[in-house]
Amino acid sequence: MNDQITEDVKKYAKEVLEMDLVGIAPIERYADAPPEFHPQQFIPDAKAVITMGLVHNPDMVQESHINKAKSVVEIHGMNTENLCAGYKMSRYIQKKWGYRSGATGLPVHLPEAFVKAGLQDIKGALKPAVYFSVKMAAVHGGLGKRGVNDLLIHPEHGSIVRLVSVVTQAPLTGDPLSDFDSICDTCDRPCMRECPTGAISVKQGDPYTKGSIDWQKCFNLIGNEALMLGYAACLQCASVCPHSKQVG
């Protein structure tokens, strides 16, 4: 039965929702996750996490940093499609198979007071009691690894993917973990070199990611310009990743 539901869910994701990527993580892979990141914070008896994603048109994101934000329509369109896909998937599982499910993990909007203050100090922002990382979910679901740019690196599509996750009671069969070489250890790291804020650094000893982002620096650059004025966020670290460039 588990395999039957899993096959049906994947078919629905690919053929009906037209997702480019889909990976499933059994709840056991979250054994070492920080409590606030655990999927069972959303659904206490969750058994699995489905992570789906869309791939950017490479022509729209190459060299697409804050000053060349030609990907604005694509970013908003992909986020909307992912949001709808997550909602539809959770509804589908509930209606067809009878398991509670819920979509989560899209980019979180910052508190209104924080935005009105001009994003001067991210450390002073109100923090939610429960977090969810679609990048962590994607790694646990076998879709790739997280690189120095702290993004998911997919073996075929690089860093130019956008993700959404669905937490579910359904006892789904997990996908094998990705074993491809993310090349970050041998790469000359253009993501660090070309980040307009110098926000990226190498992170040691973290099982989920090789890199660390100083979000204060990142938001100080894109905050007022991107969020307040509605422009696309900076995609430089994704577009210059060698894995992303090889698919262009």
- HSE (CB half, 13 Å, CA atoms) of 203? 17
Considering only CA atoms, give the Rg of the chain: 18
Q: What is the pLDDT of residue 64?
A: 54
The pTM score is: 0.85
Given its phi and psi angles, is residue 147 left (phi above 0), alpha (psi -120 to 50 degrees) or beta? beta
**Statement: residue 214 has pLDDT above 50:** yes
pLDDT digits (tens, 9 = 90+) for 69-96: 566 677 778 888 999 999 999 999 999 9
Q: What is the pLDDT of residue 50?
A: 98
Q: What is the pLDDT of residue 71?
A: 64
What is the b/e burial string over 110-127, where b = at least 16 CB atoms within 10 angstroms of the residue's CB? beeebeeeebeebeebee
Average pLDDT over residues 202-211: 71
**Statement: residue 119 has pLDDT above 60:** no
Phi, psi of 81 (to 5 degrees): -65, -40
Round the average pLDDT of the chain to a whole number and report it: 81
Q: Is the dihedral of CA 41, 44, 48, 51 positive or negative?
A: negative
Q: What is the pLDDT of residue 248?
A: 46
Q: What is the pLDDT of residue 233?
A: 60
Q: What is the pLDDT of residue 116?
A: 46
What is the b/e burial string over 13-36, where b = at least 16 CB atoms within 10 angstroms of the residue's CB? beeebebbbbbbbbbebbeebeee
Task: Give the tokens for residue 113.
Answer: 């007071």
Task: Find the helix packing angle between 72-97 and 2-11, rounded to 10°.
Answer: 150
SS (H, E, C) the chain: CHHHHHHHHHHHHHHHCCCCEEEEEEHHHHCCCCHHHCHHHCCCCCCEEEEEEEECCHHHHCCCCHHHCCCHHHHHHHHHHHHHHHHHHHHHHHHHHCCCEEEECCCCCCCHHHHHCCCCCHHHCCCCCCCCCHHHHHHHCCCCEECCCCCEEECCCECCEEEEEEEECCCCCCCCCCCCCCCCCCCCCHHHHHCCCCCEEECCCCCCCCEEECHHHHHHHHHHHHHHCCCCCCCHHHHCCHHHHCCC
Residue, of 132 and 68, whose pLDDT is higher: 132
Q: Give the C-alpha separation, 115 to 196, whole Å.
A: 21
Average pLDDT over residues 157-165: 92
Which residue carries 């690089």 as its tokens?
158
**Statement: residue 52 has pLDDT above 60:** yes
**Statement: residue 163 has pLDDT above 60:** yes
